Chains A and B, each alone.
Chain A
Amino acid sequence: MHDKTLAQLSTGLAGGEFSSVELTRHFLDRIAALDGRLNSFITVTEEQALAQAEAADARIAAGEAGPLTGIPLAHKDIFCTQDVRTSCGSFMLDNFVSPYDAAVVTNLAQAGMVMLGKTNMDEFAMGSSNETSYYGPVRNPWDSSRVPGGSSGGSAAAVAARLAPAATGTDTGGSIRQPAALTGITGLKPTYGRCSRWGMIAFASSLDQAGPMARSAEDAALLLSGMAGFDERDSTSVDRPVDDYAAALEHPLAGLKVGLVREFMQEGLDSGVAAATEAVLGELKRQGVEVIEISLPNAHLSVPAYYVVAPAECSSNLSRFDGVRFGHRCEDPKDLEDLYKRSRSEGFGAEVKRRILIGTYALSAGYYDAYYLKAQQVRQLIAQDFRSAFERVDLIVTPTAPGTAFPLGDKTDDPVSMYLQDIYTIAVNLAGLPAISIPAPPAEGLPTGFQMIGNHFEEARLLNVAHQIQRETDWHRQVPAGF
């Protein structure tokens, strides 16, 4: 059952080929048998999963099922889940049991999906390798000595190893797309405001966005349909109907014009990834797509601007962890200041502290204009580059990450080299655009990713193009040995 697509699982459930309880049990058994090698789950919610599966079976029997009813999935542990520990990969929240569900969790539960558990992630989503998690690193199912990418590394590894049919992720600077690329799956970061951020633990509020992680564009389309939608509880949620993503998948691509970002095909790009990118472009051309070179002249400033905007917002968002209302509290505080300082120092890991400190510095008196204001201006220039490009092309394409999965420990001593993992993905978040990563041909046995960026709210087009590529190729059908 674990080799079926979401659409096939849906058909199998509707036709009585298997029940949701059987399906859920199958994936729970796979997690129990195989996740010791990956560490992709922080919490497995067996009891709740089987109860949800029973309810889904009843719904199917009553003829009240939707396309997602009865299908299991995993949630990144950044999404609040009622009565289930929600740790965000941090010791700070190791004891936090959420009193409510995130909007995305509610939406998918109402669609009848079954939650298998909560996936591992970089602490507070800050990282590109899943090595900053308090719960230990996740291993890449393609090579256990390598990272799965991050921050949604647990979701990516679980889907790649087929421990879950699909999973949710979040993407602030590439945290869905880069792990999708490094594990050979399909991941979509929707337009800012497309999925509600309510109940999604905040990292950088002007950049954070939830999205689907799945084994194909078709599956991602189905999952996104269940996740997206307006939510008045999120003040930046956009009140706009959700497109019919599944219906758009079959449009032929002839006549489409895509722009390859010249700056992203130059130095710093692994030659295997460059060749993989060219192979996907070849497939697009075969389908009648015109490929031209475009320039994003300010894109090289996206990592610098991001490392002001994201830490600044993070330092503000993470001030809520004060040892008073929830989360870790130090022993025997001598006064309130000691309580704050020691609770936070003990609760947060090194990378989170670094980002809080950078953000605090950038927002402190005398430095605001030089850092935060400057970064918001640079952000405008980057967004303007995209606006100009979309006057010439329908889609923008790039490699997703500069290389393939790297060995554990390779970049942990050098934050800046880790940050450069997201060099092709970060500009998209700064501009609030949707982008998808799909598997390109492997390089030396490891997955590579091909990124497509659309204009605001063009998720349907991204999924359509991705699906048309996947219909004609088998790069997304590769599975890691032993899983």
Chain B
Amino acid sequence: MSLSSDDIHKIAHLARLAVDEAEIAPLQRDLSNILGLVEQMQAVDTSQVEPMAHPLEMPQRLRPDEVTETNQRERYLRNAPAAENGLFLVPKVIE
């Protein structure tokens, strides 16, 4: 399995990572090597195997739909890179 430079650009965009041109070739090599390792799985027939979604094969627990947390907006905004009037600030999205 080998990835082209276009593949790397496409995946990086999906992952919202900026990639310099200088990083493309090493990433192509490393990711292709990792996919080569992963490829070993294809040798085994799993057509009759139920995929394992949870290590203990347990269903997800549900809880009553009740309010359990109090509002701590100021506290949680303290780690925000930019906040104002209780809101997170981002560059203008709508012209």
Contacts and interface: CB of A to CB of B under 8 A. Distances in A.
A308 B51 contact: no
A430 B31 contact: no
Contacts of B55: 192-193, 206-207, 383, 429-432
Contacts of B60: 235-236
B91 A333 contact: yes
A375 B56 contact: no
Interface residues of B, number: 51
Given A99-B72, A304-B37, A357 B15 contact: yes
A374 B88 contact: no
Contact of B51 (A360, A364, A380): A380
A229 to B, nearest CB: 15
Interface in A186-241: 191-193, 206-207, 232, 235-236, 238-239
Interface string B64-95: 00000000100110111110000010111100
Nearest to B39: A304
Given A337-B16, A344-B17, A354 B30 contact: yes
A374 B42 contact: yes
B37 A324 contact: no
A6 B44 CA distance: 47
B79 A97 contact: yes
A386 B56 CA distance: 13
A378 interface: yes
Nearest to A337: B16
Prevailing SS type, chain A contact patch? helix
A99 B50 CA distance: 41
Interface in B10-40: 11-12, 14-19, 27, 30-31, 33-40
B15 A377 contact: no
A360 B14 CA distance: 7
Contact of B41 (A193, A238, A305): A305
Nearest to A355: B34
Interface string A295-327: 000101101110110000001000100111111
B38 A357 contact: no
Contact of A377 (B52, B88, B93): B52
Given A206-B55, A339-B91, A432-B56, A381 B46 contact: yes
B34 A415 contact: yes
A324 to B, nearest CB: 5
Task: Give the residue among B37, B39, B41 with the most A Cβ atoms within 10 A.
Answer: B41
Nearest to A363: B14
A236 B76 CA distance: 25
A275 interface: no
A429 B55 CA distance: 8
Contacts of B78: 97, 99
Contact of B75 (A99, A191, A322, A354): A99
Contacts of B38: 304, 307-308, 362, 371, 375
Contacts of A380: 46, 49-52
Contacts of A342: 18
Contacts of A307: 34, 37-38
A371 B1 CA distance: 12
A7 B54 CA distance: 36
Contacts of B42: 370, 374
Given A326-B80, A353-B17, A339 B90 contact: yes
22 contacts: A192-B55, A232-B61, A235-B61, A301-B40, A301-B41, A307-B38, A315-B15, A324-B81, A328-B81, A334-B91, A336-B91, A338-B91, A344-B15, A360-B11, A361-B35, A364-B11, A364-B14, A373-B51, A374-B41, A377-B46, A378-B41, A416-B34
Interface of B: 3, 7-8, 11-12, 14-19, 27, 30-31, 33-42, 44, 46, 49-56, 58, 60-61, 63, 72, 75-76, 78-82, 88, 90-93
**Among all A-B residue pairs, the 5 with the closest Cβ atoms:** A432-B55, A329-B81, A376-B51, A377-B46, A326-B79
